[in-house]
Amino acid sequence: MNQQQHAPVPPDTGGPVHDPVRAERLAARLRAALGPGKVLSDPAQLRTYECDGLAVYRVRPAVAVLAGERDDVVRTVRICAEEGVPFVARGSGTGLSGGAVPVADGVLIVLSRLRRILDVDPDNARVRVEPGVINLWVTRDAAPHGQAYAPDPSSQQVCSIGGNVAENAGGAHCLKYGFTVNHVTGAEVVLPDGDVVHLGGTAPEHPGLDLLGAFVGSEGTLGVTTEVTVRTIQAPETVRTMLVGFHTVEDAAGTVSDIIAAGILPAAIEMMDALAVEAAEAAVQCGYPEGARAVLVVELDGPRVEVDALFTQVEEIAGRRHAFEIRIAADDAERALMWRGRKSAFAAVGRISPAYYVQDGVIPRTRLPDVLTEMGRLADEAGVRVANVFHAGDGNLHPLILFDDKQPGAAEAAEELGMAILDLCVDAGGSITGEHGVGLEKKGKMTRQFSADDLDTMQLVRCAFDPAGLANPGKQFPTPRLCGERPGVRTAADTHDPALGEVF
């Protein structure tokens, strides 16, 4: 995690609610069940697990379990169910919405040791892995067969497949290839009562209710995955990348719309505005067009003949939108440099601002020009600088809100702007998250996006999986629902709000 990234302080803060006696009793029971070397309860050791990529929320769990096999997860969840203790699963902890933040007197189930690649089946284009397997390893093992795993979050060198499943992770190439949910065909899941079920499988479609789709992106609230089957795609014959400089953000946004309207589906269309380009240039000397108010990175892949023909069309479209510089990567080194600018942008922004806050929202592609203009107006009004680096092709914005964390009130102003940007996305017909998830950060915004009945229906399903509210409570939903029929009975979801944990 980039140390310079900070999100603002959450509204509800309070001291830790640890009960050391209860924690030790729980740890002892888990140690007896799992054996040595798997259960941590020393507060110093537990500090490692206090937060995820959204480093603002810090909560120390009572116990951390380093699961070494599937049955460790089953035993831990069973014990939690028996004791009424909440649990949170964690992969690599790179999430950006606080989805893997522990619960103060709960168990954190760490899945990183479950990192075996169980089966590579190129003939049926499937790879079966344990949840701690790193995203990039799937492509690494599929590559000798000419295949690849498509979803590519920026953190793909460190993030885990289990976490990708929990958050329905995206990435630059999801424009063409879809999100994690479009690539997972099966999952083994430990339900909150400890039962093990199989959702989906290897076939493209399954009879019965498609609970796999609901499970992917459920942010740990329905259970813990212990095995994932993903499909792999044929690695493209050719990949070509183009860097295009524009004098206005509107022309860049118009080019994105025109490319898609022409029926061209690039592997990726990434956009960066002047501030993001300036930061990237200062950090990694990527040679982006000088003086550009906006830059597009357009990547096409597929059979060579197709890519060549479409590239010519993209050049023509950009030209009609007054692009002042069009550069096509001549070789892999030039291509890598173009991506280096884009991929380093988040970190690079950390060099031009003491702190920043990454937002994640979605708008219909056609609304890009006016939403970007309105976002600029809101930022000016708030006196806050915003750098834009985002997946333009699918309208997935990532405004980087810059602030000085030493200045009183600056973090709050940044947060306020971030939330106003989400409102803007919803009003434009979009969504409050494209790929980072809701987690702790955005649960308060769910009511902007969904009606009370919509949220109620989701929580009814959540209650079906987890009537006691023990699986990652306090995430995703603004107000936890009481499961069951007896009014007045409070569930763990009500009493274990992680926002009551320790905040740095």
Residue list 283-312, contact with a copy of itself (CB under 8 A) = 302-303, 305-306, 308-310
Give the residue, chosen from 82, 320, 454, 489, that forms a contact with a copy of itself under the rule CB under 8 A: 454
Element (H, E) at 199: strand 196-200
Long-range contacts of 461-465, Cβ-Cβ distance < 8 Å, separation of 24 or more:
461/214, 462/218, 462/221, 462/222, 465/191, 465/192, 465/221, 465/222, 465/223
CB of 225 to a copy of itself, least distance (A): 14
By CB under 8 A, the residues from 130 to 189 that bind a copy of itself are 146, 168, 170, 178-179, 181-182
Category of 474 on φ-ψ map: left (φ > 0), alpha (ψ -120 to 50) or beta: left
Looking at 139, 155, 232, 476, which residue binds a copy of itself (CB under 8 A)?
476
Instruction: Give the Cα separation of 411 and 491 in Å (integer).
Output: 33
Residue among 239 and 461 whose Cβ is closer to a copy of itself: 461
Helix (H) or strand (E) holding 388: strand 385-391
Which window, 45-53, 69-77, 87-95, 123-131, contacts a copy of itself (CB under 8 A)? Answer: 123-131
State the nearest-atom distance from the C-beta of 220 to a copy of itself, in Å.
12
Q: How far apart are the first and last CA of the chain?
A: 16
Query: Closest distance between a copy of itself and the C-beta of residue 138, in Å?
Result: 17
Q: Candidates 447, 450, 479, 495: give the one binding a copy of itself (CB under 8 A).
A: 450
Residue 169 CB, nearest distance to a copy of itself (Å)? Answer: 10
Site for a copy of itself in 58-117 (CB under 8 A): none
Non-local (6+) Cβ contacts of 220 within 8 A are: 88, 89, 99, 100, 166, 471, 472, 475
Which is closer to a copy of itself, CB of 113 or CB of 145?
145
Nearest approach, Cβ of residue 189 and a copy of itself (Å): 8
**Rounded distance between C-alpha atoms, residue 411 and residue 405, angstroms:** 6
Site string for a copy of itself, 223-242 (x = CB under 8 A): -----------xx-x-----
- Quick one: which of 28, 32, 460, 489 contacts a copy of itself (CB under 8 A)? 460
| Among residues 84, 291, 484, 490, the one that binds a copy of itself under rule CB under 8 A | 484
Phi-psi domain of 287 (left: phi exceeds 0; alpha: psi -120 through 50; beta: other): left
CA–CA dist 117, 48 (Å, integer): 26
Looking at 171, 395, 418, 469, which residue binds a copy of itself (CB under 8 A)? Answer: 395
Nearer to a copy of itself, 215 or 288 (CB): 215
Residue of 157, 364, 407, 489 interacting with a copy of itself (CB under 8 A): 364
At its nearest, how many Å lie between a copy of itself and the CB of residue 198? Answer: 6
Phi, psi of 402 (to 5 degrees): -90, 140
What number of CA atoms fall less than 13 Å from residue 449's CA on the CB side?
Answer: 22
Give whichever of 42 and 123 is closer to a copy of itself, judged by the CB atom.
123
Q: Any residues with CB less than 8 A from the CB of 322 and at least 6 apart, and which? A: 246, 247, 248, 251
Binding residues for a copy of itself, total number by CB under 8 A: 86
Q: Scanning residues 265 to 284, which ones bind a copy of itself (CB under 8 A)?
A: 265
Is residue 259 a contact point for a copy of itself (CB under 8 A)?
no
- Interacting positions 191-220 with a copy of itself (CB under 8 A): 191, 195-199, 201-214, 216-218
Q: Does position 321 bind a copy of itself by CB under 8 A?
A: no
User: Which value, to the nearest 10 degrees, does the dihedral of the CA atoms of residues 419, 421, 4, 345 take?
Assistant: 160
What whole-number distance in Å separates Cα of residue 70 and Cα of residue 86?
Answer: 19
Cα separation values, 337 from 98, 151, 341, Å: 31, 21, 7
